[in-house]
């Protein structure tokens, strides 16, 4: 649709690079139908150097809100005038509220993950040993909400140790958290109860760079923040190494989307109805 055609309806979208893989348009369309909201939701591809121009153009042309995905969740913070408490703690933004005079940045990823883990997967994070793979924008948004659930320890493993260190230092006051390299994962470590993939690797690669000894067979549960129409590469890797329970990021995607939708439209969609229609694992 051209800017002229869409000007009558409030416009929303997801901005990222790449973005074609995103299922957010499908989910927000279901939410809009379910709650009778007159709105459009678009896929917006934006390389890093065009991010500011594209967001401002969208805001001037009926854009009321954006979801922000890889790799812009931290870079976008420089564009916002105001941060919600969650976004401020995370230092990352996944939802923009585009007002006529300013841009407010929110982060609904943490809430989305916690709701999916606790409500839909019946998972109790309290007292568990958690291995978080990745230290980018997606990881950043979920560290504080996970620590609030009081795991025994949260270990952040990343290819670049500097980013993992920075996250562990930033959130160190909120709970037991430490940073390691993938190669520091040892068979002799106490078993990880839950392994969360927050890297963007499944988008481009099949081969997982993590040592499989991270998984204690039939004990470790594996959760991928990524999702697909079939199993993700991380889920296949987890199954190959005999993980206990395995789940994709569909539930989190729907829950974070529902919270974005509530922020934008003031109504909370029924997520159970949407989850029923999707290939949730
Ligand atoms: P997002 O918003 O999805 O977190 P991001 O901020 O670009 O996107 O972060 C991508 C994450 O995936 C990072 O943890 C990155 O590791 P580095 O910090 O070392 O770059 C991780 N990642 C991406 N491709 C990877 C690969 N081939 N091997 C290991 N880690 C990878």
Rounded to an integer, the average pLDDT of 86-95 is 94
Band (137; pLDDT cuts 50, 70, 90) = confident
What's the start-to-end Cα distance of the chain, in Å?
A: 34
Give the 3-state secondary structure of residue 166: helix
Closest CA relative to residue 262, chosen from 105, 101, 97: 97
Cis peptide bond prior to 18, omega within 30° of 0: yes
Instruction: Flag whether pLDDT at 39 surpasses 60.
Output: yes
Substitution candidate for ligand 1 out of 136, 168, 232 with most atoms within 8 A of CB: 136
Separation of 144 CA from ligand 1 center, angstroms?
19
Closest CA relative to residue 226, chosen from 255, 252, 194, 248: 248
Instruction: Flag whether pLDDT at 255 surpasses 60.
Output: yes
Can you tell me the distance from the alpha carbon of 114 to that of 42, in angstroms, rounded to the nearest whole number? Answer: 26
Can you tell me the distance from the alpha carbon of 67 to that of 174, in angstroms, rounded to the nearest whole number? Answer: 27
Length of the chain: 281
Substitution candidate for ligand 1 out of 48, 72, 199, 207 with most atoms within 8 A of CB: 199
Separation of 63 CA from ligand 1 center, angstroms?
29
Band (230; pLDDT cuts 50, 70, 90) = confident
Burial code (b: 16+ CB inside 10 Å, e: under 16) for 220-230 equals bbbbbbbbbee
Reading the block at residue 73, the tokens are 């969740």
Instruction: Flag whether pLDDT at 253 surpasses 80.
Output: yes
Contact in structure between 250 and 227 (CB atoms under 8 Å)? yes
CA 272 to chain centre: 19
Instruction: Flag whether pLDDT at 3 surpasses 60.
Output: no
Rounded to an integer, the average pLDDT of 232-246 is 96
Can you tell me the distance from the alpha carbon of 139 to that of 199, in angstroms, rounded to the nearest whole number? Answer: 8
Closest ligand 1 atom to residue 159 Cα is 19
Can you tell me the distance from the alpha carbon of 33 to that of 175, in angstroms, rounded to the nearest whole number? Answer: 41
- Which residue CA neighbors atom 22 of ligand 1 most closely? 199
Q: What is the pLDDT of residue 7?
A: 54
Q: What is the pLDDT of residue 281?
A: 59
Can you tell me the distance from the alpha carbon of 239 to that of 218, in angstroms, rounded to the nearest whole number? Answer: 10
Entry pTM: 0.91
Active site residues: 73
Using CB distances shorter than 6 Å, the residues near ligand 1 are: 70-71, 73, 134-139, 158-160, 163, 199-201, 205, 209
* C-alpha distance from residue 63 to each of 96, 125, 181, 254 (Å): 10, 38, 41, 21
Can you tell me the distance from the alpha carbon of 68 to that of 48, in angstroms, rounded to the nearest whole number? Answer: 12
């Amino acid at each position: 649709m051209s800017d002229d055609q869409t000007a009558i309806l409030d416009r929303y979208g997801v901005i990222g690079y790449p973005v074609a893989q995103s299922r957010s348009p499908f989910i927000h369309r279901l939410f809009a139908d379910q709650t009778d909201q007159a709105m459009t939701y678009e896929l917006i591809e934006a390389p890093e150097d065009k991010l500011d121009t594209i967001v401002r153009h969208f805001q001037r042309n009926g854009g009321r809100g954006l979801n922000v995905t890889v790799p812009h969740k931290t870079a976008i913070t420089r564009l916002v005038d105001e941060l919600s408490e969650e976004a401020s703690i995370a230092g990352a933004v996944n939802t923009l509220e585009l007002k006529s005079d300013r841009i407010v940045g929110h982060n609904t990823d943490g809430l989305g993950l916690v709701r999916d883990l606790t409500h839909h997967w019946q998972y109790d994070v309290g007292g568990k040993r958690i291995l978080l793979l990745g230290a980018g924008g997606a990881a950043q948004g979920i560290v504080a909400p996970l620590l609030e659930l009081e795991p025994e320890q949260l270990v952040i493993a990343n290819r670049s140790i500097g980013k993992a260190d920075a996250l562990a230092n930033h959130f160190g006051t909120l709970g037991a958290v430490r940073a390691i390299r993938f190669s520091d994962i040892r068979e002799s470590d106490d078993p990880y109860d839950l392994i969360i993939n927050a890297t963007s690797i499944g988008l481009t690669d099949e081969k997982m760079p993590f040592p499989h000894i991270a998984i204690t067979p039939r004990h470790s549960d594996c959760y991928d923040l990524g999702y697909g129409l079939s199993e993700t590469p991380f889920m296949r890797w987890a199954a190959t190494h005999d993980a206990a329970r395995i789940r994709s990021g569909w539930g989190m995607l729907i829950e974070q989307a529902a919270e974005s939708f509530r922020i934008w439209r003031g109504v909370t969609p029924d997520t159970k109805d949407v989850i029923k229609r999707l290939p949730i694992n």
